Amino acid sequence: MLTPPQIQFYREQGYLGVENVYSPAEVEELRRVTDEFVEKSRAVTANDAVFDLEPSHTPEMPRLRRLKDPIKQHPAYRRAILHPKVLAIVSQLIGPAIASNGNKLNLKLANVGSPVEWHQDWAFYPHTNDDLLAVGVAMDDSSLENGCLMVLPGTHRGPILDHHQDGMFVGAVTEPGFRPDGAVPILLKAGGISIHHTRLLHGSAPNLSPHARRLLLFQYCAADAWPLLPGDKPWETYAASVLQGSPVSQPRLADVPVRLPLPAAKHGGSIYENQRDLKNAIYRGVTAKT
């Protein structure tokens, strides 16, 4: 459980790192299962509903960039999103009735891991209130060298910046002159978690090191936060996403800033695909070995 100072830090700064949440055995299982998916990706030649590949991926040298919707791909990931310690921590921050509006595994494999340009998650999925956060499960020690998550403290209390380019959503901040000055890293040991508020500005550099940085990302939201852009079968999808507590049909409306991620990104799919055409990339030129 979080201490009152940790909760206060999260409320003020919009993020938190918590060590020793997953046991070494739990991390080991996640690594083993993930290695199996990297093996499977050898047979995959183009991005699909499950695999997102680094541009340099080949069958001989499989370079899986993201495993999409991991909780549907293997029970170990499903167990991880339902981890009692994590649900207890998340309950302290957004209340006991919790749904999930997404999950993914960003691999950032050694020497090739792609960067994630600066963005606010809320720009991708605005809801009726902003009691949403993302938990990152560190499957490896994460450091500046292997492309740990970087955040701009306190920005969850500020505006939602423009994520559009040439009139289309592009999945990254496009405000002229934006620089992530004052960014801080969330450094973690394997088994620790990062937590960031849905409106917090964050991004991460490419992995220039010989050490993988696999980060399992679980998005949690208060069960009374409803997406402003529901997908297919809105009730069924929502009800199935409730992890703790009961579904509610009376969303809570808060006074929150919203910019819709529309018109939709030219390259649909993962954030890496969305950000492909970004002109003012912060990490362009910071190249990893291939």
Ligand X SMILES: O=C(O)CCC(=O)C(=O)O
**Residue 106 binds ligand X, judged by CB under 6 A:** yes
Q: How far is the CB of 248 from ligand X (least distance, A)?
A: 26
Q: Pattern 45-64, binding to ligand X, x per CB under 6 A?
A: --------------------
Tokens of 209: 């090191």
**Residue 204 binds ligand X, judged by CB under 6 A:** yes
Binder of ligand X out of 53, 64, 112, 215 (CB under 6 A):
215
Closer CB to ligand X, 97 or 149, in the complex = 149
Whether 120 and 180 have beta carbons less than 8 Å apart is answered as no
- Between CA 56 and CA 140 the distance in angstroms is 22
Which residues are CB-contacts of 107 (< 8 A; sequence separation ≥ 6)?
34, 38, 64, 65, 66, 67, 113, 212, 213, 214
Q: How far is the CB of 87 from ligand X (least distance, A)?
A: 21
Kindly state the number of chain residues that form the binding site for ligand X, as judged by CB under 6 A.
9
Of 182, 162, 180, nearest to 171 (Cα)? 162
Tell me which amino acid residue 119 is. H
Q: Pattern 129-168, binding to ligand X, x per CB under 6 A?
A: --------------------x-------------------
Whether 121 and 219 have beta carbons less than 8 Å apart is answered as yes
Rule CB under 6 A: which residues touch ligand X?
106, 116, 121, 149, 202, 204, 215, 217, 271
